[in-house]
Structure 1
C-alpha cells in the first residue's frame, strides 16, 4: 500500500520504481511530490485506480503503468496533473 502524501516534501526526484504486488494506492499518494523524471508502477494487483491518486504531480517526464491487473481506472485518477510528457499503460 502507498499511503496518502507518502512522498510529500520531495521536490526533484529522478526516478521512482515500486516492487510488484502493490494492492492499494490511496488518493493523494503522490501529492506533494513536485517534479519527477520517471515513475514506474509495474505488476500491481490493484482492482482500480481511484480518483486523486496522482493528484499533486505537477511535472512528470514518464508515468509508466505496466503489466498491472487494473479492473477500473477512474478518469479522475489523473485530475490536477499539470504536465506529463509521456503516459505509458501497457
Structure 2
C-alpha cells in the first residue's frame, strides 16, 4: 500500500476496506463521504476480532500507519 494507491481510492457509495498485502489486518477504510482512515484488525484475549483506527490518511503517511499497525500486533492476539 503506497501513498499514491491510497490517494487513488475513490468512494463508491458504500463503506469498504482495501487490505495491505505486506501486513495482515492492515487496511484503509473508505467511507461513502470520501473520508479515508488507516486501521488494523487484531484479536483480543477472548479471540474476538477488533479494529484499531490508526488515523486519517490526510494526516498520517502510509509508512507510519504501517509501523503503528505492526507495533499493535496487527491480526495477532493482544492481551
The structure where helix makes up a greater share of residues is: 2
Q: TM-score normalised by the shorter chain: which range applies? A: under 0.3
| TM, length-normalised to structure 1 | 0.23
| TM, length-normalised to structure 2 | 0.25
